Amino acid sequence: MKFDVQYKGRAIRLDITSEDSLYRLEYEGKKIGFRCERIDESCLSIMIGEKSYEAHVHAAPPAYGVQLQDLSYDFEVMEGGTGAAGVRRGGVGPHRITAPMPGKVVSVLRAPGDALKEGDGVVVIEAMKMQNELRTPRAGTLKEIRVAAGETVESGAVVAIIVPAAQAKTDAV
Amino acid sequence: MKFDVQYKGRAIRLDITSEDSLYRLEYEGKKIGFRCERIDESCLSIMIGEKSYEAHVHAAPPAYGVQLQDLSYDFEVMEGGTGAAGVRRGGVGPHRITAPMPGKVVSVLRAPGDALKEGDGVVVIEAMKMQNELRTPRAGTLKEIRVAAGETVESGAVVAIIVPAAQAKTDAV
Amino acid sequence: MKITGPPFKRILIANRGEIAVRVIRACREMGIESCSVYSDADRRALHVLMADRAWPLGDPVSRNSYLNIEKILDAARAMDCEAIHPGYGFLAENAGFARQVEESGLTFIGPPAACIEAMGSKTAARQAASDAGVPVVPGAMSHVSEDELEKLTGRIGYPVLLKATAGGGGKGMRIVRDPQGLDAAFRGASSEAGAAFADSSVYVEKYFENAHHIEVQVLFDNHGHGVYLGERECSVQRRYQKVLEETPSPFIDDAIRATMGECAVRLASAVGYRNAGTMEFLVDDQRNFYFLEMNTRLQVEHPVTEMVTSIDLVKEQIRLAAGDALGYGQHDIHPRGHAIECRIYAEDVENDFLPSPGRIVRLDEPGGGPGIRNDSGVYEGFTVPIYYDPLISKLVAWGRDRAEAIGRMRRALREYHVTGIKTTIPLMHMILAHPGFVAGNYSTSLIDRLTARRRGGEHVEDVALAALAVQLLENRRAKSGPASGSHGAASAWKRFSRAESLRKR
Amino acid sequence: MKITGPPFKRILIANRGEIAVRVIRACREMGIESCSVYSDADRRALHVLMADRAWPLGDPVSRNSYLNIEKILDAARAMDCEAIHPGYGFLAENAGFARQVEESGLTFIGPPAACIEAMGSKTAARQAASDAGVPVVPGAMSHVSEDELEKLTGRIGYPVLLKATAGGGGKGMRIVRDPQGLDAAFRGASSEAGAAFADSSVYVEKYFENAHHIEVQVLFDNHGHGVYLGERECSVQRRYQKVLEETPSPFIDDAIRATMGECAVRLASAVGYRNAGTMEFLVDDQRNFYFLEMNTRLQVEHPVTEMVTSIDLVKEQIRLAAGDALGYGQHDIHPRGHAIECRIYAEDVENDFLPSPGRIVRLDEPGGGPGIRNDSGVYEGFTVPIYYDPLISKLVAWGRDRAEAIGRMRRALREYHVTGIKTTIPLMHMILAHPGFVAGNYSTSLIDRLTARRRGGEHVEDVALAALAVQLLENRRAKSGPASGSHGAASAWKRFSRAESLRKR
């Protein structure tokens, strides 16, 4: 089976096959044979030859984290072609500002219709005594605010939608 | 809902009702109101008034264990009238000797047809370097041996069936 | 340590998280009943689960629960408590709270309200230190106006640090490196201080680059006897917040250690201090030390002192609050070996330390082998709430010497696995691998000098990709399998293990 | 403790379970690669998961895997190891194994094969002790015939204890209280010894009622320098198996302690001992002590010594095996405080200590707060195999004095929760609550004197029934619910928490 993965800006195609606990992984021209046993929900025991590795995988699609020895790896997986990963990198369509962490909306700084410069703050979210200002990465017009002060939001929730400057003009009455 | 429970030879009928996290238990004329939240698969947080208890329940029907503070409680629950609990206490029918622990059959001491006195050893099981001789609690005739030396058995597996002396005679040709 | 019956019957712990658990443990060891309080967000929290009694405070927002003095005093009365332990944070340094506790006829496990008040003003504390002959950082001895500020900075020289008189937690602080920036910094610090502490007054101190933050633990009984219990090196900081602490400090020698300790005891005596407290000092690169401030409570990093002195600081706090005499003197204190503490926060190191509350899916905590202690406030399956401090545990390692303590800490960090939320464990790995840290040659600028990323061997990256690929493969199979579910591999594993556990019976 | 580079590059650990994990931890702290071996039953065992390398041994049955010398030497060669640590049990006291390891050009982390051999014969060890001027229990100095037995028992007086010359683990032992029972006991002991050790020879010793088993830890380098590291009180036993150990012994005083220590060092010197070893003594109710036997390996209970001396015995074993000098003398050893170890076995206390292997459904292990260490060999979800020793972990508590250690152990035991298998945790609660134990006034008969059951307050029984009722209620509801399953409440909880965790994203 094949999977497309982003790792530090590098696009990697993984090709994995298995038979019982024996696996074969191909990527970037490398071929790796290994044995693997699932220990629990997040932990895998992987052996390459006699080398033994305890890997802890955290799945929060499209983000996947792997903890290994004293290192952490963060991957982004393109599932089904158009994952959230694609959206986040933006295109020419409307841009969604999402909450990077669960938290409480402390204040909404702008109102729908406001013109925004790149980097303008839109909403302030607080979690664990830390306030985080969510800014727009692109100039445009604030089309929609989906949260109100005092509300609790989950990580990844869409808090605002911005229409690019060009598109905003054509939309404008 | 009502449940019949054995505790140290004492038969207790529990009658429990709930609404959200509020519970009401009646048994032996006592009425106990409490709040309860499930913490995980085995752990419950119980509060009676402001008193807080962490209870760990292990379910291996019909046996249930509850760990609480520095104490352990072992219960046997009669589910659906004829639980294993009934069988174990025996009646006049055939008696089944079951493995009290998972283990490996080290040796089979008797053969089908053998006459057995109360307390005669029938099968030896080993687990964790400890050998355990399974004995018949009643006199009778060994009707069937269901295991062979070298086999692995699970806890509760039937290893032998004994027919009471009286019944054995009528069964005998 | 011979105790003839517990000093109190029942103690209320006006806190949550790992420090509430820490106090519960001390109570349990002493035969005292522990009473927790909890907000609606904490019904399933560990400090509620472990306590003997627990009382609800309602609204998760701190000012309506853990900071609500009336509710907490009501809880103490309702549960018939004799004393209140405030932990750290929340109401721990609120003199009004301490006073109300005492006026309610309960014992406040900490210093007298007057001491909290006196040390609460940073300038008053500086003045007290100076009066006691303890060196203070050059600068103002009381809050300054904009005019006074200019004169003073001219005298002490740039760079300077503006600080809030009522300050704490890095709020209202500004480093100023030249006269041009002074006005703006003053206004900024002043308004931030006003917003944070309802007191906009600021003062100024000389700012030292590459300084060390070293603090001294003191312990005083109600009869005027006190000792210092060595120092803690707290220079590994990020945005003025401590990240890792150790004792002894690799930076100072026995002579400075003793002098700092004597200064701390002298100052505590001078202000009539009681119970546990900490004097914070700034040490410059010439090893001159200056009093910074006093923390009139237990510190987060108290375990490193416990590891080397063998003294259980929380039990001592309780015992001393009950009026017991200290029972030992300075010459009975013989710290042994070396201890390091890593603060494990629910924060995303790779993402600018964004808070990472949420459900802990899987948790393996170190606690085995020699010299390891993990003071945790969470458990597997617990949902870390969004409302409170992100500290989830303090991992402590002890060794006969610093090298052994570092080896053990590294080993223990490798045994620490959290999935579901992000933690600062990766940051700790980076610090423990940093040559400057390993050599004991670091200052408050250490964190900035960390290389953002390390790379494992080529092989290790292969294994990370292998683990990811197995996970994705299992997810895909679980989705296309007969008992489909969106949960993927973990769900498949659960079904498997359940089937197996049923089969075993 | 200053180590300039690890003494070995790679060590093979010829063991499993908690002791293999213990050695892995020591290796990791020293920068040594750890290599595990595992039977088919242990592919998912913790010692495999944690090791840097792992090698399969096949068949779960010990004699075909962990006891198979050829396979283990092959594994060491294949993984290019420089040394082998045998742990305890399995091949740890097999002189032939030690010899073959050495002949393969590897280092055996333990004493020379000749020492293992000399001490393997209980009567030869008695003779060596006697020659070194160490008191031995009155009785035979070599194995006895039935005729000799009668004469000897007549001289030393009843009761006597028959023991296997090649003995260990309580096998081939018989207490004889009068001449009538002697013949039958001799034949019984002899045949049991023959079956267990392929050596039916037995000897006889005076039997002491209410005796104490106290052992002394020694540590010797390859250059003839050695020290003793205090004693361990091991009198809490069940069927000659240790259950709980502590140090120092509450039964002896400093003078006897020093004399026993000196005896232990003298005997070890006399037999040319190297590395870590333990002298077992029997102490009668008059505090006369007698050498019993020597264990030429690490003891299960070594952590209590580590806790009070601060010396990491496993690291010392490795370092000394590499030829390092001890580097300290008897006068540098200053034990501090008190330590207790509880052996947590997978056994059903309520059911005559029947083994209880199986899947660990939920596991909360203590490891927080001061003075607690849990050396575990298992994890949540692990299936404890039927093939091996039932020891799943060793819980250790340290305190400044015995009372504090007991308080901490009790507290930690309350934080220890295992479901899925039965453990000896309830037995430990009973021992720690026993007045004789608390007073430090107990001997080997303690376990028999435990009241079989304690009762909680009336209220506690209510809560136990409440917990049971909630569980049954949830089971019933889960069964009649739409997504029916035989797993009941836990399954419902899993669905709930899964749904919640998805919702949180």
C257 and C397 share one domain: no
Contacts of C367 in chain D (CB under 8 A): 365-368, 372-374
Look at residue C40 and tell me if it is in a domain.
Answer: yes
pLDDT score recorded for residue D4: 66
Task: Count helices and strands (H / E) in chain B.
Answer: 2, 16
The pLDDT of D100-123, averaged and rounded, is 95
Contacts of C392 in chain A (CB under 8 A): none
Contacts of B68 in chain C (CB under 8 A): none
Show the beta-strand stretches assigned E in D353-410.
354-355, 358-359, 362-364, 372-376, 383-384, 391-399
Cα nearest neighbour of A156 on chain D: D505
Three-class DSSP category at C223? coil
User: Residue D44 has which token pair?
Assistant: 């998912």
The closest of A88, A110, A99 to A156, measured between CA atoms, is A99
Instruction: Tell me phi and psi for residue A172, to 5 degrees.
Output: -65, 145
C191 and C267 share one domain: no
User: Residue D9 has which token pair?
Assistant: 């590059």
CB pairs under 8 A between B and C: 40
Render D173-184 in DSSP notation, one character per residue: -EEE-SGGGHHH
Domain boundary pick from D336, D358, D379: D336
Query: Residues 63..82 of B with a Cβ closer than 8 Å to D: which?
Result: 64-75, 77
C455 and C394 share one domain: yes
Look up the CATH number of the domain holding residue D157: 3.30.1490.20
The answer to whether the Cβ–Cβ distance between A127 and C357 falls below 8 Å is yes
Under DSSP, the state recorded for D365 is -
Cα nearest neighbour of A64 on chain C: C468
Contacts of B155 in chain C (CB under 8 A): 504-505
C179-214 in b/e burial notation, b at 16+ Cβ within 10 A? Answer: eebbeebbebbbebbbebbebbbbbbbbbbeebbbb
D277 and D331 share one domain: yes
Kind and range of the H or E element at A32?
strand A30-38
Query: Residues 29..58 of A with a Cβ closer than 8 Å to C: which?
Result: 30, 32, 34, 36, 38, 40-44, 46, 48, 51, 53, 55-58
Distance from CA of C51 to the nearest CA of B (A): 6
> What gap in Å lies between CA B152 and CA D61, rounded to an integer?
12
Look at residue C341 and tell me if it is in a domain.
Answer: no
> What gap in Å lies between CA C341 and CA C396, rounded to an integer?
4
The closest of D89, D91, D93 to D75, measured between CA atoms, is D91
> What gap in Å lies between CA A41 and CA C495, rounded to an integer?
11
Q: Which of D2-6, D164-168, D177-181 has the lowest mean pLDDT?
A: D2-6
pLDDT score recorded for residue B129: 85
Domain boundary pick from C283, C317, C336: C336
Neighbouring chains of B at 3+ CB pairs within 8 Å?
A: C, D
The pLDDT of D281-285, averaged and rounded, is 94
Per residue in D177-214, pLDDT tens? 999 989 999 999 998 888 888 889 999 999 998 899 99
The answer to whether the Cβ–Cβ distance between D373 and C375 falls below 8 Å is no
Q: Which residues pair with D245 in a beta bridge?
A: D341
Cα nearest neighbour of C54 on chain B: B50
Three-class DSSP category at C143? coil
Cα nearest neighbour of B158 on chain C: C505
A45, A50, A60: residue with CB nearest D505: A60
C357 and C503 share one domain: yes
pLDDT score recorded for residue D351: 86
The answer to whether the Cβ–Cβ distance between A73 and C461 falls below 8 Å is yes
Look up the CATH number of the domain holding residue C46: 3.40.50.20
Query: Residues 341..370 of C with a Cβ closer than 8 Å to B: which?
Result: none
Cis upstream peptide for D366 (omega within 30°) = no
pLDDT score recorded for residue C493: 52
Cis upstream peptide for C159 (omega within 30°) = yes
The closest of D363, D109, D352, D75 to D219, measured between CA atoms, is D109
The answer to whether the Cβ–Cβ distance between C473 and A25 falls below 8 Å is no
The answer to whether the Cβ–Cβ distance between A59 and C490 falls below 8 Å is yes
Looking at the 3D structure of chain C, how many domains does it have?
A: 4
Look at residue D375 and tell me if it is in a domain.
Answer: yes
C312 and C227 share one domain: yes
Q: What is the mean pLDDT of chain A?
A: 87
pLDDT score recorded for residue C451: 64
The answer to whether the Cβ–Cβ distance between C505 and B60 falls below 8 Å is yes
pLDDT score recorded for residue D454: 62
Look at residue D3 and tell me if it is in a domain.
Answer: no
Q: Which of D194-203, D220-229, D298-307, D455-464 has the lowest mean pLDDT?
A: D455-464
- C474 vs A84, more confident: C474
Domain boundary pick from D336, D359, D377: D336
Look at residue D1 and tell me if it is in a domain.
Answer: no
Look up the CATH number of the domain holding residue D125: 3.30.470.20
The answer to whether the Cβ–Cβ distance between D361 and B16 falls below 8 Å is no
* D219 has a pLDDT exceeding 90: yes
> What gap in Å lies between CA D74 and CA D80, rounded to an integer?
10
User: Residue C485 has which token pair?
Assistant: 């579910």
pTM here? 0.92
Under DSSP, the state recorded for C499 is H
Look at residue C317 and tell me if it is in a domain.
Answer: yes
Contact between chain A and chain B (3 or more Cβ pairs less than 8 Å apart): no
Touching check for D36 and chain A: CB below 8 Å?
yes
D412 and D444 share one domain: yes
The closest of B38, C56, A35, C101 to D56, measured between CA atoms, is A35
Query: Which residues of chain B are modeled with pLDDT < 50?
Result: 81-91, 168, 172-173
Q: Residue A94: which pLDDT band, with cuts at 50, 70 and 90?
A: confident
- Cβ pair D94, D100 in contact under 8 A: no
> What gap in Å lies between CA C157 and CA C155, rounded to an integer?
6
Q: Which residues pair with D176 in a beta bridge?
A: D160
Query: Residues 54..73 of C with a Cβ closer than 8 Å to B: which?
Result: 54-55
Contacts of A99 in chain D (CB under 8 A): none
Per residue in D381-434, pLDDT tens? 999 999 999 999 999 999 999 999 999 999 999 999 999 999 999 999 999 999
The answer to whether the Cβ–Cβ distance between A14 and C468 falls below 8 Å is yes
Catalytic residue at C274? no
Three-class DSSP category at D449? helix
The closest of D419, D423, D424, D422 to D361, measured between CA atoms, is D419
pLDDT score recorded for residue C168: 72
In the set D16, D297, D402, D408, the catalytic residue is: D297
pLDDT score recorded for residue A95: 87
Largest distance between two CA atoms of chain D: 82
Q: Are strands D83-85 and D10-13 parallel, antiparallel or unpaired?
A: parallel
The closest of A69, A1, D466 to C479, measured between CA atoms, is A1
A27-49 in b/e burial notation, b at 16+ Cβ within 10 A? Answer: beeeebebbbebbbbbbbbbbbe
> Environment class of residue C400 by beta-carbon count within 10 Å: exposed (0-12), middle (13-18) or buried (19+)?
middle
The answer to whether the Cβ–Cβ distance between C380 and B40 falls below 8 Å is yes
What domains does chain A contain, in order, with CATH numbers?
2-77 (3.30.700.30), 95-172 (2.40.50.100)
Residue whose entry in the numeric block shows the structure tokens 């899987």:
C362
Query: Which residues of chain C are modeled with pLDDT < 70?
Result: 1-4, 169, 451-458, 481-505
Look at residue C117 and tell me if it is in a domain.
Answer: yes
B37, B51, B156: residue with CB nearest C53: B51
Question: A163 in the Ramachandran plot: left (φ > 0), alpha (ψ -120 to 50) or beta?
Answer: beta
- Cβ pair B56, B67 in contact under 8 A: yes
Contacts of D76 in chain A (CB under 8 A): none
pLDDT score recorded for residue D282: 96
Q: Which amino acid is at C399?
A: G
A51-78 in b/e burial notation, b at 16+ Cβ within 10 A? Answer: bbbbbbbbbbbbebbbbbbbbbbbbbbb
Q: Are strands C53-58 and C33-39 parallel, antiparallel or unpaired?
A: parallel
Touching check for D450 and chain B: CB below 8 Å?
no
Contacts of C420 in chain D (CB under 8 A): 501
pLDDT score recorded for residue D478: 86
Contacts of C460 in chain A (CB under 8 A): 53, 68-69, 71
The answer to whether the Cβ–Cβ distance between B1 and D476 falls below 8 Å is yes
> What gap in Å lies between CA D336 and CA D307, rounded to an integer?
8
> What gap in Å lies between CA D14 and CA D65, rounded to an integer?
10
C362, C455, C468: residue with CB nearest A64: C468
A1, A74, A102: residue with CB nearest C476: A1
D314 and D366 share one domain: no
C222 and C170 share one domain: no
Residues in CB range of C302: below 8 A, 6 or more apart: C217, C276, C313, C314
C29 and C87 share one domain: yes
D376 and D463 share one domain: yes
C149 and C105 share one domain: no
Three-class DSSP category at C273? coil
Domain residues for the domain of D505 are 347-505
Neighbouring chains of C at 3+ CB pairs within 8 Å?
A: A, B, D
Look at residue C164 and tell me if it is in a domain.
Answer: yes
pLDDT score recorded for residue D95: 96
Contact between chain B and chain C (3 or more Cβ pairs less than 8 Å apart): yes
Interaxial angle between packed helices D95-103 and D69-78, expressed in degrees from 0 to 180 and rounded to the nearest 10:
30
Q: Which amino acid is at D359?
A: R
In the set C297, C319, C343, C373, the catalytic residue is: C297
Contacts of D351 in chain B (CB under 8 A): 100
The closest of D250, D307, D328 to C336, measured between CA atoms, is D307
Cα nearest neighbour of A63 on chain D: D505
